[in-house]
Amino acid sequence: MSQAPVEFYFDFSSPYSYIASEWVEAVAARYGRTVRWHAILLGATFQAAELKSPVSHPLKREYSVADFQRSARFEGVPYVAPPQFPIPTQNAARVFWWLHAQDEASAAAWAHAGLRAYFTRGVVLSDAGSLRALCVETGLDAPAAEAAWSDPVWKERLKAENDAAIAAGIFGAPAFVIDGELFWGNDRKPQIERWLSSGPF
């Protein structure tokens, strides 16, 4: 019997989501699991949980910005602080769900492309021209993608996914749900590996 996938919740503007996105598939595959990607908006989960982004607190901002860099170095993934941070990512997320409805692998590939573009090359995903260019670069039909991110259907789909994430107890990103157990944060990797290797603890 195949094991349930690792449910991976991410935001295109979350540095820790980017870092986790670079290891989650390999870790899952090591233990015979797949990954089911969920693009969400942190703003919606923060609002529901009455939280703020760590960089919105002056005392935590300097630490957080340094920790993004350190965490990327620790995982051995490239990271360049984006020129604008954080940014609204609803259009990139709507493209994700538009693709997801056609093919989950294409949606995951778009997630990788968007996260890498923002966190290694400073591509501002909230800028329509930059997002169109990224669509072209990744082989998508850019006019169709732009139509999708403007379409009420995909606006509503993203809202429904945010609502579903909140209902599942998601309050930040990255978040992982494995066999019904919620793990929050890129730094939960050791616990995730142990759970996948030997089960609940």
CB of 11 closer than 8 Å to CB of 161: no
In 3D space, the residue among 63, 64, 85 whose CA is nearest the CA of residue 12 turns out to be: 85
Residue 111 CA to residue 124 CA, distance in Å, equals 14
Residue 53, helix vs strand vs coil: coil
In 3D space, the residue among 92, 155, 165 whose CA is nearest the CA of residue 123 turns out to be: 92
Residue 105 CA to residue 177 CA, distance in Å, equals 19
Question: Which residues does residue 183 pair with via DSSP β-bridges, in sequence order?
Answer: 176
Catalytic residues: 14
Strands (E), the chain: 6-10, 35-39, 175-178, 181-184
β-strands 181-184, 175-178: how paired?
Answer: antiparallel
The Cβ of residue 57 has, within 10 Å, a number of other Cβ atoms equal to 11
Q: Which amino acid is at 201?
A: F
